């Protein structure tokens, strides 16, 4: 993919300007309990404090603010495992337009209820991203509505990348940024933003052990479709990375690591006990990569916590499980 198909610093800055005063500028919070492991310091970027409880609001708003009024009037459709759909539904409500969210048959009650709470009509289709996108395209062809893609779009990538610009501005001497990777919207945007600001920063992508789509793409030289995926982090279980997202990560990602479910549960418990932050499995996977020893940071390190949309019934067994022991001493 050519350089013209990658987001530019100007794209990212325009997205940031559009989101100013609308999106939450989430803080960097120091993780004092890990100072012995990373003497240069660890900070988390808690996107569970973002509107709709996850980073997805950034991309959804950046996409929809660039739509024409006529296009908005025909409505929007969002294929989503949960967080993207909630974000699109929220932004659609802001603009006063109709929204349909296509979710998997396995969607959690919290994520479905979130989309419906913001006024969306929920349609269930299959269990994979590919099935949801196909259903969304079918509905759009019949209704004239616009599909808001979950990740494989430059407007979405630029919107998510505003998170990276905030990291670069708030911690100018950052040495390592750890970001989760699913379809690639967040990871590609953050990687581009951080590298365009500070080219020497290490960007490490973290994927579930049961959904190694970026690793498979890097080995093949381009996106490939996994036969299946599995694991706790439902937001990261897509079977194929986006084409545009891969192009960004091929240029800007330094390393990919995989994390298993046990480490994720430990990280969720740590965040709740020590930081008073509720993270869903997809949000805690980055901290798990650090605390499980899979990442050796260089300099001050920022861990992106992508979201916290998990209902109590789902959270309780994860944090109460005997394997969720303390990560660091008090």
Residues identified as active-site:
56, 306
Q: Which residue has the tokens 């192009």?
A: 247
Q: How far apart are CA 234 and CA 80, in angstroms?
A: 11
Residue pair 40/171 in contact (Cβ under 8 Å)? The answer is: no
Closest listed residue to residue 14, CA positions, set 193, 250, 248: 193
Q: Please choose, from the candidates 101, 98, 95, the residue with its C-alpha nearest in 3D space to the C-alpha of residue 66.
A: 95
Residue 68, class by beta-carbon neighbours within 10 Å (0-12 exposed, 13-18 middle, 19+ buried)?
A: exposed
Backbone angles phi, psi at 191, to 5 degrees: -60, -45
How far is the C-alpha of 129 from the C-alpha of 151, rounded, in Å?
11
Distance CA 53, CA 33 (A): 25
DSSP assignment letter at 199:
T
Of residues 321, 181, 161, 169, the one with CA closest to residue 242:
181
CA distances for 101 relative to 132, 182, 231, angstroms:
9, 19, 23
What is the tally of helices (H) and strands (E) in the chain?
Answer: 13, 10
d(CA 45, CA 183): 20
């Amino acid at each position: 993919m050519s350089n013209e198909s990658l987001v530019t610093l100007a794209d990212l800055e325009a997205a940031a300007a559009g989101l100013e005063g609308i999106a939450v500028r989430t803080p960097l919070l120091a993780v004092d309990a890990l100072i012995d492991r990373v003497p240069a310091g660890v900070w988390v970027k808690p996107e569970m404090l973002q509107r709709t409880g996850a980073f997805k609001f950034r991309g959804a708003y950046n996409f929809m603010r660039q739509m024409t009024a006529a296009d908005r009037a025909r409505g929007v459709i969002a294929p989503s495992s949960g967080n993207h759909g909630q974000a699109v539904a929220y932004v659609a409500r802001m603009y006063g337009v109709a929204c349909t969210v296509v979710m998997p048959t396995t969607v959690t009650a919290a994520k479905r209820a979130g989309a419906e709470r913001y006024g969306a009509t929920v349609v269930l289709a299959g269990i994979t991203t590919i099935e949801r996108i196909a259903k969304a395209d079918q509905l759009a062809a019949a209704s004239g509505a616009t599909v808001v893609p979950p990740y494989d779009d430059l407007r979405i990538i630029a919107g998510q990348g505003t998170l990276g610009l905030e990291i670069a501005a708030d911690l100018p001497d950052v040495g390592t940024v750890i970001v989760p990777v699913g379809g690639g919207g967040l990871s590609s945007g953050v990687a581009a933003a951080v590298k365009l600001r500070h080219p020497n920063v290490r960007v490490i992508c973290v994927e579930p052990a049961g959904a190694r789509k970026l690793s498979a793409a890097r080995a093949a030289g381009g996106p490939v479709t996994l036969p299946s995926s599995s694991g706790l982090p439902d937001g990261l279980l897509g079977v194929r990375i986006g084409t545009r997202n891969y192009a960004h990560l091929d240029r800007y990602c330094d390393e990919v690591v995989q994390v298993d479910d046990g480490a994720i549960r430990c990280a969720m418990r740590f965040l709740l006990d020590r930081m008073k932050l509720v993270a869903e499995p997809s949000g805690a996977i980055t901290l798990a990569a650090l605390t499980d020893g899979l990442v050796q940071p260089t300099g001050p390190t920022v861990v992106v916590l992508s979201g916290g949309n998990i209902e109590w019934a789902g959270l309780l067994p994860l944090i109460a499980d005997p394997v969720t022991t303390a990560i660091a001493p008090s």
